[in-house]
Amino acid sequence: MGQKFAAIFLTVFLTFLTLSSLPAEEGMYPITEIDKLPLKQLGFAISAEDIFSENHVSLSDAIVKLGGCTGSFISPDGLILTNHHCAYRAIQDASTPEHDFLAEGFVAYERSQEFPAKGYTVRITQQVRDVSSQVLQAVRGVDDPLQREKAIEKKMKELVKQAEAQHPGLRAEVAEMFPGETYYLFLYVYLKDVRLVYAPPSSVGNYGGEVDNWEWPRHTGDFSLMRAYVAPDGSPAEYSKDNVPFHPKKFLQIARQGAEKGDRVFILGYPGRTYRHRTSAFLDFEYTTHMPFVVQWYNRQIDLLHKLGANHPARALKFKSRIKGLANTEKNYRGKLQGIRRLHLIDQKRAQEQTILHYIARDAQRQKRYGRVLPQIDSIFTRYKKTARRDWLLGYLARSVDALGLAWTVVKAAEERQKPDLERETAFMDRNFERTKMYAAMRLKNFDAQADKMLLLDLLHMMKALPDSLQIPEVVRRFALNEDEEKTKQIIDTLYARTRITDKETLMHLLTQTPQELQTSQDPAVQLMLALKPVYAALKERNQRRSGALRRLRAQWLKIKKEFLKKDFIPDANGTYRMTFGFVEGYSPRDAVYDHPITTPRGILEKNTGQAPFNAPDALLTLLRKEQFGPYISRTTGTLPIDILYSTDTTGGNSGSPVLNAKGELVGLNFDRTFEATINDFAWNHAYSRSIGVDIRYLLFLLKDYAKAQKLLKEMGR
Amino acid sequence: MGQKFAAIFLTVFLTFLTLSSLPAEEGMYPITEIDKLPLKQLGFAISAEDIFSENHVSLSDAIVKLGGCTGSFISPDGLILTNHHCAYRAIQDASTPEHDFLAEGFVAYERSQEFPAKGYTVRITQQVRDVSSQVLQAVRGVDDPLQREKAIEKKMKELVKQAEAQHPGLRAEVAEMFPGETYYLFLYVYLKDVRLVYAPPSSVGNYGGEVDNWEWPRHTGDFSLMRAYVAPDGSPAEYSKDNVPFHPKKFLQIARQGAEKGDRVFILGYPGRTYRHRTSAFLDFEYTTHMPFVVQWYNRQIDLLHKLGANHPARALKFKSRIKGLANTEKNYRGKLQGIRRLHLIDQKRAQEQTILHYIARDAQRQKRYGRVLPQIDSIFTRYKKTARRDWLLGYLARSVDALGLAWTVVKAAEERQKPDLERETAFMDRNFERTKMYAAMRLKNFDAQADKMLLLDLLHMMKALPDSLQIPEVVRRFALNEDEEKTKQIIDTLYARTRITDKETLMHLLTQTPQELQTSQDPAVQLMLALKPVYAALKERNQRRSGALRRLRAQWLKIKKEFLKKDFIPDANGTYRMTFGFVEGYSPRDAVYDHPITTPRGILEKNTGQAPFNAPDALLTLLRKEQFGPYISRTTGTLPIDILYSTDTTGGNSGSPVLNAKGELVGLNFDRTFEATINDFAWNHAYSRSIGVDIRYLLFLLKDYAKAQKLLKEMGR
């Protein structure tokens, strides 16, 4: 299975490198590929089987996907370690008017105090199967890009259904590893009763906030503890007070001595998306068109929400996590833009592509088969550039504007739920619909009509400014974009005065309607989205057609690139289970600067202004000033380590991943990357790609000396 | 002379330290004190006499004060090296509608092309005399603080007049070294014909602009060349085309090999002001009251000027250097505020003062004599805090608002010019009045009525918001602050519509008027300032009375502190000629970060976005990418050095100071400090006090390969 990856480069590894000179390496290795790695030479004290095995208990039994994050079991009773920012919503939900647990921190001294984290699930990878041949069989002879897309989607759904029938209790997913070429089926255990156990106050767990986000040196205690529960018989079950703690097959051992500069570390987890195999046209499109648009639109949203929240504390609280999310992406994209510019990534890619084009042109047969691949990809992006802004604005209309987004879910639900299950969009399949409804309900929680109206008006402004050829007549007409702005404002005011879609009961009712029933709905938001249905349908078709064409072209390009370079590649991250390794090491983020890989209490004391986000609790400051760090002192820095830096290859989704030493013991908790490493999604490089974790010793120190959570420490074997 | 300074610490030096472990040292040593320093042990290859001597030619004959900056002669024909930012106004003046030399850079390939830098003078220190006894004699028996202030001022003027009579052609100045205790008379040569020879474009000379200002790592080529001219007979003279280049007694030799990490360096120059001997009450006043006010007011001005200039390029150009100045101070103060907080400077000072108070209390005699000194200083600042904001707003009315400022100069000139010369305020004495008139005329150049009105309105807003007890009735009445704001605006509009003070001819005429003639003036700005004269007179008296009291108390406090610590001090910087030494060395500006002391072309290429302030000229970028740096390569970094960092003790006024190696050869050009070192003005510390200079090799590379100024290089002996 999967022998295609990780081939020639291994030989190089074994031939030239000695242990001491082994560098950190690019690569989020699919878990099924690590048995090809020379682990011993890389300094590992454990085998591939110790890390992942379908037949034996391995470290992987302790690794979970938790929402969009990673987590790991660290006790026999299902205690899970993940990031503070991954548990953010649960902490917010647990809060009451009397107790803001984001501000105070949350401690369940007893299990009965553990708070059900609604919407959280825990997923453990059980098996992986190569299903490439079945998937590709489905598109053999199909030429139309749209039909190909649909055929692949359908086949993947069938494979899932089939696998789940064969393995009752497990959940299946098919993931595309290489576009149009390799597909894996993953079988997962899902646990649905997850509870919040411990979270430090935000002034520790999110110390430095947006200012320090994506930055090193860092001083954030970004961790939290949760616990997975199952039915008394051990089977996965929804929350019930009768449930019992889950007993994982494996939980991680804590390396109390932590890790020091130069130590080998590795990371297991679920990295989200990377785009390293894309061509220069894609990168150019991102650099010139997509990312600047997102940065602009997100900044507009942030400004607007800040302004609205300025003198309204209650409102500001509602916007907090939304702004946090927007700012996180905005800064990430700025980092990427800087990286592409500084590293001349587009020119680099183009130069490589030129040599491949020359290689292709040297052989008539090759020229015939591959000569048009790159020009075709280029021309797709050239065309896309012209209309992309319109398409995105349309997309954000149903994404950033809650009332319209909910109405769109209602309209889609009515339509999709009529179809046979396998033909529906994923969100509306029986296996997902309950979750879709829950997410819709959760969206209501922070709804603010004023913000919603302002965002809608701003999107309409931008739509109005589009060239005539890109105007969407139905939008222009519905919002009177050809008339005075006052008129548009009036229409919006009326819409929000009349719609009931943001009322939970109404929303839930609407989500059960048939298309015929919806037609008679008087709700103006629903009416609007019904009217825009053809517009969105056309948009979807355009997108599918484009990605169908690109998928096929990218597969061909990868094939010829492989042939030319005579090497195999590691597939881009796609949310599936991966392993990456590196060292605890510093770097030079810019000329004349060297960043050490371990931070110390000095940094917290230096940064602390007493004002958020630099307002560590007084009790913690006092402890840090006392400098009685006992067993947690690093032997290289002589003081308590706070955060650590290492040269692994990570991306979003690796939040909450355990950082493990050569023996597979826990030395840290991954939570971020450096600003320079935001470019990881497009290109990894040993010089600047660094990830950031909480040092396990700071975590233990916080639990013991700050939180006095002795019981939890005991459970963790500390 | 001056044996009081530099006593005990020298013994410590000589006893304990070996050459290799000699640290950098706090201290801007008065030039007359360096013969007490163990220069040889400190690694100097030259003697104190080589650095300063009244009888022999020394390095000091090559060091000049140039406006508020320092400069140095670097050729036998009077070529002066100073900073780009020191020559800024001259470069701006040289510019024409056809040539913006700030943007293009300025090169005089021939001497005839050198541009007269109006308003610039060059000052060379000739002699220094201790005149403490004469000055202090004048206040013996005088008890009233106001009378003491006046007596000291008068005595200093007399000493100046007397010295200048004795030394025709020289200019004298008396400087207070220790408050109320030590006074030095300096004799200076003044050269008045200074011309601009070379300036790189701002995109080199001010690379990084406000973003990088006060920051390390730095990549700025902040240098320019000027030339001093004299009459054909060698005497100082105003500009004339018949003048000839000045031949200095000494010019600096250039150390082509530059300086590397760990090398001894020293700096000669004219540091402006430090406040290290002040008490905690002063520091607390600065921290809680003065600096926050300045930061706020300067930010308001910057915002306002930015807004006004937003869509008016011509206006934006007028505001450029003003915004630059405001932003420079604003960021400096932010740095200081951060430094005071992080270093707990106020607590530190207080703790030291407590031990001194205990020492005082242990002896009845001491208690009687010194017991009240510190409490009295404290109570002066407690009182001052209550009214300071009103006083400053009043001050800025005649400082930030050009029309009112000019009117105030006119009113003061009429009054002061009536008095005997020695009794006038310095600016209106015969020896200074021409210069005062020239500065007034220069103020007109960037005058903008709209900005002036907005600033005035903003100051009035802030005055209106003062507590009732601080309202100034005359201001309230004149600007109708008790009425609707529209009324205030109307008054301002009328004022600006009618005043002619911003017309150069009118202004120059008004500056010749007697008080009686002014009374009949119809100009509303003049009328206003005449009406406010008693208000400003009261303000001046308050200030003089306070500083008189403080001067005496500070002298007493310093005396008892010296007695307690059993050591002498180095006087605070006061614009007089000083020497400071240190090493080329990096530092850790914050936890887990180490900054190397030499930057490289990598930094320019990394920072360059193509947008100001990171828009290095293409020709330079091409040269840097070529990496052909020949003789300018640093042997430690292996590439061209750009800027260097060193642990000397500097402050504002050291801009343009030469950085010299142990042999007294030029290795760099000082132009800035690090953000952490803005706190230098209050406390120097080896851990964080670092100054920043252009590496001489970058300077030579720019002249040779970028500017192709071979003739100038030849003149400099390169």
The whole-number average pLDDT for the span A594-615 is 97
**Closest chain B residue to the Cα of A603, Cα to Cα:** B591
Decide if pLDDT at B5 tops 50.
no
Residue A19 pLDDT exceeds 80: no
Single out the residue of A332, A119, A91 nearest to residue A225, CA to CA: A91
Of the pLDDT bands very low, low, confident and very high (cuts 50, 70, 90), residue B97 is: confident
* pLDDT tens track for A185-208: 999 999 999 999 999 999 999 999
Chain A residue numbers touching B606 (CB-CB < 8 A): 342, 590-591
DSSP, res B424: S
The backbone region for B495, taken as left when phi is positive above 0, alpha when psi lies in -120 to 50, beta otherwise, is alpha
Average pLDDT score over residue span A489-493 = 97
For residue A358, what are the contacts with CB-CB under 8 A and spacing of at least 6? none
Q: Do A217 and B606 touch (CB under 8 A)?
A: no
Q: Which residue of B has its CA nearest to A609?
A: B341
Separation CA A62–CA A253 (nearest Å) = 10
pLDDT (0 to 100) of residue B6: 39
A592–B600: do the CB atoms touch at under 8 Å?
A: yes
Q: In degrees to the nearest 10, what's the CA dihedral of A587, A589, A591, A596?
A: -40
- Contact call for residues B50 and B58 (beta carbons, < 8 A): yes
Check CB contact under 8 Å for A596 and B595: no
Q: Which of B592, B600, B609 sits opposite A217 (nearest CB)?
A: B592
Peptide bond preceding B217 in cis form (omega within 30 of 0): yes
Neighboring chain B residues of A597 at a CB cutoff of 8 Å = 592
Strands B122-130 and B244-245: unpaired
- Taking CA–CA distances from A600, the nearest residue in chain B reads B591
Tell me the sheet residues that pair with A124: A189
A18: confidence class by pLDDT, cuts 50, 70, 90? very low
Task: List Cβ<8 Å contacts ≥24 apart for A38-41.
Answer: A38/A10, A38/A13, A38/A14, A41/A13, A41/A14, A41/A17
Return the pLDDT at B24. Answer: 58
**Chain B environment of A600 (Cβ under 8 Å):** 591-592
Label residue A683 by pLDDT band (50, 70, 90). Answer: very high
Report the gap between the CA of A624 and the closest CA in chain B (Å). Answer: 14
Residue positions counted in chain A = 718
What's CA A124's distance to the chain center, in Å?
A: 17
Q: CA B581 to CA B268: how far, in whole Å?
A: 9
pLDDT at A97: 83
* Whether residue B523 lies in the annotated active site: no
Among chain A residues, the shortest Cα distance to B637 is held by A592
Q: Minimum mean pLDDT among A19-33, A364-378, B94-108: which range?
A: A19-33
Query: If pLDDT is split at 50, 70 and 90, which confidence band does A137 have?
Result: very high
Percent above pLDDT 90 for chain B: 90
Q: Are A229 and A112 in contact (CB under 8 A)?
A: no
Rounded Cα–Cα distance for residues B301 and B459 (Å): 10
A68-81 pLDDT, tens digit per residue, is 899 999 999 999 99
Overall average pLDDT of the A516-539 stretch: 96
Q: Cα distance from A592 to chain B (closest Cα, Å)? A: 5
In angstroms, how far is the first alpha carbon of chain B from the final one? Answer: 40
Catalytic residue among B61, B72, B75, B85: B85
**What is the helix (H) or strand (E) element at residue A128, kind and residue range?**
strand A122-130
Instruction: Determine the pLDDT at residue A583.
Output: 97
Q: What are phi and psi of B343, to 5 degrees?
A: -90, 0
Choose the closest CB to A595 out of B593, B597, B606. B593
Query: What does the pLDDT average to over A152-160?
Result: 95
> Does the distance separating the beta carbons of A595 and B592 come in below 8 Å?
yes
B219 vs A contacts (CB less than 8 Å): 591
Question: Quick one: average pLDDT of A60-69?
Answer: 95
Mean pLDDT value across residues A301-318: 92
Nearest alpha-carbon partner for B494 in B534, B453, B462, B466: B453
Question: What's the mean per-residue pLDDT of chain B?
Answer: 93
At residue A7, does pLDDT exceed 50?
A: no
Torsional class of A240: left (φ above 0), alpha (ψ -120 to 50), beta (otherwise): beta
Cβ pair B592:A606 closer than 8 A = no
| Of the partner residues B590, B591, B596, the one whose CB lies closest to the CB of residue A592 | B596
Which of B451, B456, B476 shows the shortest CA–CA distance to B464? B476
Query: What DSSP string describes A158-190?
Result: HHHHHHHHHSTTEEEEEEEEETTTEEEEEEEEE
Contact at CB, A606 and B342, closer than 8 angstroms: yes
DSSP state for residue A61 in the 8-state scheme: G
φ/ψ of residue B198, rounded to 5: -150, 140
C-beta atoms of A591 and B609 within 8 A: no
Between CA A323 and CA A289, with CA A460 as vertex, the angle to 5 degrees is 70
Chain B interface, best mutation among A591, A642, A688, by max B CB count within 10 A = A591
Interface touch B590/A341, C-beta < 8 Å: no
pLDDT at A275 over 60: yes
Are A593 and B219 an interchain contact pair (Cβ–Cβ within 8 Å)?
no
Across the range A155-175, mean pLDDT stands at 95
Helix residue spans in B310-372 (DSSP H): 313-342, 345-361, 364-370
Q: How far is B609 from chain A (nearest CA, A)?
A: 8
The owner of tokens 């004959």 is B61
* A182 phi, psi to nearest 5 deg: -125, 130
Residues on chain B touching A341 (C-beta within 8 angstroms): 609
- Closest CA of chain A from B138, distance in Å: 49
Which has the closest alpha carbon to A63: A223, A198, A248, A257? A248
pLDDT score at B3: 38
Chain B residue set in contact with A, beta carbons under 8 Å: 216-217, 219, 341-342, 586, 590-600, 602-603, 606-607, 609
* Residue B8 reports pLDDT greater than 60: no
Which residues touch A496 (CB under 8 Å, ≥6 apart)? A403, A449, A452, A453
Q: Which position among B72, B75, B132, B655 bears the catalytic label?
A: B655
Closest CA to B358 of B369, B366, B347: B366
Interface test with chain A among B347, B588, B593, by most A beta carbons within 10 Å: B593
* Confidence class for position B23, pLDDT limits 50, 70, 90: low
Question: Nearest to residue A412, comparing CAs of A499, A501, A537?
Answer: A537
Q: What are phi and psi of A151, to 5 degrees?
A: -65, -40
Rounded mean pLDDT, A449-466: 97
Q: Which of A61, A222, A284, A448 is catalytic?
A: A222
Flag if A600 and B606 touch (Cβ within 8 Å).
no
Residue A678 has pLDDT above 70, yes or no: yes
| pLDDT number for residue A26 | 80
Give me the pLDDT at residue A317, please.
Answer: 85
Tokens of B660: 């010299």
Numbered residues of chain A with Cβ closer than 8 Å to any chain B Cβ: 216-217, 219, 341-342, 586, 590-600, 602-603, 606-607, 609
Q: Is A378 a catalytic residue?
A: no
> How sure is the predictor about B574, in pLDDT bands with cuts at 50, 70 and 90?
very high
Quote the crossing angle between the two packed helices A524-565 and A373-397, to the nearest 10°: 160
Burial class (CB in 10 A: 0-12, 13-18, 19+), A408: buried
Which amino acid type is present at position B276? R
CB-based contacts of B422, cutoff 8 Å, min separation 6 = B154, B157, B158, B161, B429
CB-nearest to B590 from A342, A597, A606 is A606
Tokens encoding A364: 């008539």
What pLDDT, in 10s, does the model give residues B657-696? 999 999 999 999 999 999 999 999 999 989 999 999 999 9
Contact B590 A217 (CB under 8 A): yes
In chain A, residues with a C-beta closer than 8 Å to the C-beta of B624 are none
Contacts of B465 (CB under 8 A, 6+ apart): none
Size of interface A-B (CB pairs under 8 A): 60
> To the nearest whole number, what is the mean pLDDT of chain A?
94
Alpha-carbon distances, residue B87 vs A263, B191, B261 (angstroms): 53, 16, 29
Residue B2 confidence (pLDDT) above 80: no
Residues of B in contact with A598 (CB under 8 A): 592
**pLDDT the model gives residue A23:** 55
Average pLDDT over every residue of B52-56: 92
Q: Is the pLDDT of residue A157 over 90?
A: yes
In this structure, how many other beta carbons lie within 10 angstroms of the beta carbon of residue B386?
12
Question: Are A590 and B600 a contacting pair at CB < 8 A?
Answer: no
The mean pLDDT of A43-47, rounded to a whole number, is: 96
Looking at beta carbons, which residues of chain B come within 8 Å of A591? 217, 219, 599-600, 602-603, 606
- Average pLDDT over every residue of B355-376: 97
Q: Which of A341, A591, A596 lies closest to B592 in CB terms? A: A596
State the nearest Cα–Cα gap between A591 and chain B, in angstroms: 5
pLDDT, position A455: 97
Can you list the alpha helix ranges (DSSP code H) found in A17-76?
Answer: 48-51
What gap in Å lies between CA B34 and CA B59, rounded to an integer?
A: 13
Distance from the Cα of A361 to chain B's closest Cα (Å) equals: 32
Active site residue A85: yes
Query: Three-state SS across B643-692?
Result: EEEECCCCCCCCCCCEEEECCCCEEEEEEEECCHHHHHHCCCCCCCCCEE
Mean pLDDT of B97-119: 94
pLDDT for A17 equals: 37
- By C-alpha distance, the chain A residue nearest B596 is A592
- A598: distance to nearest CA of chain B, Å? 7
Interchain proximity B217–A591, CB inside 8 Å: yes
- Tens digits of residue pLDDT in B260-312: 999 999 999 999 999 999 999 999 999 999 999 999 999 999 999 999 999 89
Question: Rounded to a whole number, what is the distance in Å from the CA of A341 to chain B's nearest CA?
Answer: 8
What is the predicted pLDDT for the residue at B415? Answer: 96
Cβ-defined contact of A602 to B591 (cutoff 8 Å)? yes
A2 backbone φψ class: left, alpha, beta (φ>0; ψ -120 to 50): left
